[in-house]
Structure 1
Amino acid sequence: MSSCCVLCGRDFNSNEALQQHKRDSPAHKFDYTTCDRRFRSATALAQHLRDAAVHTQSFKHLTTFAIPPRKRKPTTKQKPSTKPEPIKKWSMYPSLDTDVSDLLSEDNLFFSFYEKDDDNSCIDDYDTNIMGQFACTNPACTAVWTSKQIAITIRRYSNKRYNARVYYQSCKRCRTASEPQLDYSYAERVAYRLKKWSGVQVEPPFFSGQSNGPHMSDLCEGCKEGHCSKIVLGL
C-alpha cells in the first residue's frame, strides 16, 4: 500500500520510505506547531499552511509543494437526434384548380381550392379513380407505368370550397411509392362530383376503357388507407 507526503505531493511505496523522507528531506527540516485539524483535500491543507499564522515561518522553508492536478473526465459531444421524414402517401394538386374551374363555369358554378388537407371538417367526400402515369422515384430503378385506377378522394367544404387527395402507387420492381402525373381525368372527375353535390344534372365523364391488368391493392396507397373504390366506373 503506497503512502503519500501531503506537503511534497509525493507517493512512496511504504510507510518506512515515507518516514525516511520526512527525516531526510530539507522540506521537513523545520519546526511547526500542529493544529490537530483534518482537511478534506490537499488543496485545503496547502491553503491552511500558507495562510495560518502558526505555520507562516514553517511554510517559508518549503521548497516544493505539488498539488496533484484534478483529472477531467473526457467530454463527448452528443449528436442531435434527427427524426426521419414521413413517407408521403398522397398529394393534392392546387395547380389543376384552373382546369376544374373551367369545367364548373359551364354550369355557372364557382368553387375555390381549399389547401388544408383536412378530413374532419369536410361536408362531403367521395372515393373514385382517375388515370395517369407513374415514373419510379428510386434512382436505381427505371420503371414507368400507366394506371387507370389511381385512387382519389374528392372533398367538399363549407363556403364553396373543395380539394382532392390523390394517392400514390408503389413500383412492382422495387416497391418505392411514387407520385402520379395526372391527365385530364382529374379535372373531369372532380368537376363532375362537385356538380352532382350542387344538384346539377350532368352526364358522367367519358372513360376510355378498362384497365389492362388487375388492381394490386398491396401497391396502392389508397387501398391501404381505405379510400380506393377499385371500380373504374364508380363515379
Structure 2
Amino acid sequence: MVSLWNSSLQKKASDLHGDTWNIETDQTIVENSLAPNWDQYISGSFAEFRCSLCRRTWGSSRVQVVFHFHLNRESRQGTIKLRCYKQECKTCNEAQWEDPNFPVENTDVLVERLVRNIRKKCYGEKDETNRSSVFDGRLNGPHESAHCEACRLGICSQAN
C-alpha cells in the first residue's frame, strides 16, 4: 500500500525546493496529537475493502485518512506519516479490521491536496489556484458507521 502512496508523492512533489519526501504508514498516529514541529492534514476518500474471513467486498465513500508531516531542514528530508482508518465486515461475527484499497486516481487527489498543504506549512507558499482539487475519482458507496474504525473512535468527520 505504501508504494502506491510514495509513487504518487514522487510525481506530485518532485519540485519541493530540492527536498526529499517519503511516506510511511503509522497506525499509531492519532488525529490532533502531533509531535512538536509536525503538521497535520486530514481528508477522506472512497476506498474498497475485502473481508479476510468471508472474502466479501464493499466500498465506502468516507474512508478517513490522517497525514502527519515534518520537514527536517538540516537534512532536507521530509517525513509523512500516514494512517488510513479501517473498516470491518458487517456480515461476519468475528470480523477483522480490514485495510482500505484506494483507487489510484483517489490516491493521486489525496496526495495532491497533501502536497498543497506541505507547500503552505513547510515552505510558506500561497495556494495560487484559489480552488480545491477537482475530484474526478470514484466517490460512490455507502458508509457503514457501525463498522468504521474512525467512527468508533469518534473522529470520522462524516459519520452518519
Using structure 1 for the length normalisation, give the TM-score.
0.49
- Equivalent position to 2:119, from 167, 187, 198: 198
Q: Identity of aligned pairs, percent?
A: 22
Q: Is the 8 A contact 1:169 1:179 kept in 2?
A: yes
Provide the C-alpha distance between the structure 1 equivalents of 2:85 and 2:51, rounded to a whole number of angstroms: 14
Write out aligned runs for 1:40-189 (5 A). Answer: 93-105=2-14, 108-109=15-16, 110-113=19-22, 115=24, 117=26, 119=29, 120-121=34-35, 123-138=38-53, 141-159=54-72, 160-174=78-92, 175-184=95-104, 185-189=106-110
**Residues 212, 188 of structure 1: alpha-carbon distance in 2 compared, 3 angstrom cutoff:** closer
Task: Kindly report the root-mean-square deviation, in angstroms, between the aligned alpha carbons of the 2 structures.
Answer: 2.7
Call closer, same or farther: CA 1:146–1:191 in 2, change over 3 Å.
Answer: same
How many residues are paired up? Answer: 135
Specify whether residues 125 and 225 from structure 1 end up closer, same or farther in structure 2 by C-alpha distance, changes over 3 A only.
farther
Matched with 2:158 is: 230
- Alpha carbons 1:189, 1:205 under 8 Å: kept: no
Residues in 2 aligned to 1:227 and 1:94: alpha-carbon distance in whole angstroms: 26
TM-score calculated relative to the size of structure 2: 0.68
Tell me how far 1:154 sits from its aligned partner. Answer: 1.2
Shift in CA distance, 137/144, structure 1 to aligned 2, threshold 3 Å: same
Q: Which amino acid aligns with 1:155?
A: H
Give distance in 1, aligned partners of 2:46 and 2:145: 16
Q: CA deviation at 1:131?
A: 2.0
From the two aligned structures, give the one with the greater strand fraction: 2
Report the counterpart of residue 40 of structure 1 in structure 2: none
Unaligned runs of at least 5 residues, structure 1: 1-91
Q: Would the alpha carbon gap of residues 146 and 212 (structure 1) be closer, same or farther in structure 2, given more than 3 Å must change?
A: closer
Gaps of 5+ in 2: 73-77, 121-125
Is residue 218 of structure 1 aligned with residue 152 of structure 2? Answer: no
Q: Deviations over 1:66-125 (max 9, x none)?
A: xxxxxxxxxxxxxxxxxxxxxxxxxx72552121120123xx225522537364426111
Q: How far, CA to CA, are the matches of 2:48 and 2:25 in structure 1?
A: 25
Q: 2:75 matched to which residue of 1?
A: none
Q: CA deviation at 1:229?
A: 1.9
Q: CA contact under 8 A between 1:136 and 1:178: conserved in structure 2? A: yes
Structure with higher Rg: it is 1
